[in-house]
């Protein structure tokens, strides 16, 4: 099975310092929906792993998160792609949650749910914590320069095996040849 794990905000859609709190605030990054479609059509099972501390902070509720994710899934489907599952962690950075990236718990759950090793599975994110979680489970950390990615690269400290691409479209182009 070919699996790919994607962060949401900054990878698939534009991020916001004020959090994406409503479906109207969810806006796809140009080329991202088509990239997911390309990956899907090449046999990849696309899974989302996203920290959503806005829930823990009381900025939005589960109904809002579900509405945002439903908009994303519909947009991906209309582009010809498929999202197999969405894993999220509602905990704040102050929690000691084993599921909030950079902790690997969410990715471990993905491996268990799909009954597969995450060794060398591409895991795409725009923040250091995305890459650290990927590295912790043996997945291949991939940094995209969209979202916070450029600042993340400039800050340094990336896991040794990290590959860097402009955006999700460039990742898909590299993986699907």
Q: Which residues are catalytic?
A: 7, 9
Torsion angle, alpha carbons of 177, 70, 122, 110, to 10: -140
Burial class (CB in 10 A: 0-12, 13-18, 19+), 150: middle
Distance CA(93)–CA(15), nearest Å, equals 17
**Secondary structure (3-state) at 86:** strand
- Is 162 in contact with 134 (CB distance < 8 Å)? no
Q: Which secondary structure element, helix H or strand E, spans residue 48, and what is its range?
A: strand 44-51
């Amino acid at each position: 099975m070919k699996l790919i794990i994607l962060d949401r905000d900054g990878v698939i859609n534009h991020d916001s310092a004020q959090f994406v709190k409503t479906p109207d605030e969810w806006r796809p990054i140009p080329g991202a929906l088509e990239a997911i479609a390309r990956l899907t059509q090449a046999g990849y099972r696309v899974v989302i792993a996203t920290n959503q501390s806005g829930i823990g902070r009381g900025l939005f509720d589960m109904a809002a998160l579900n509405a945002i994710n439903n908009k994303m899934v519909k947009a991906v489907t209309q582009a010809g792609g498929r999202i197999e599952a969405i894993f999220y962690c509602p905990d704040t950075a102050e929690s000691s949650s084993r599921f909030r990236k950079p902790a690997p718990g969410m990715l471990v759950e993905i491996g268990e749910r799909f009954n597969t090793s995450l060794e060398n599975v591409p895991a795409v994110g725009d923040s250091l914590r995305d890459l650290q979680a990927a590295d912790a489970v043996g997945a291949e950390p991939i940094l995209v320069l969209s979202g916070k990615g450029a600042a993340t690269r400039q800050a340094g400290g990336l896991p040794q095996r990290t590959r860097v691409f402009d955006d999700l479209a460039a990742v898909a182009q590299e993986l699907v040849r």
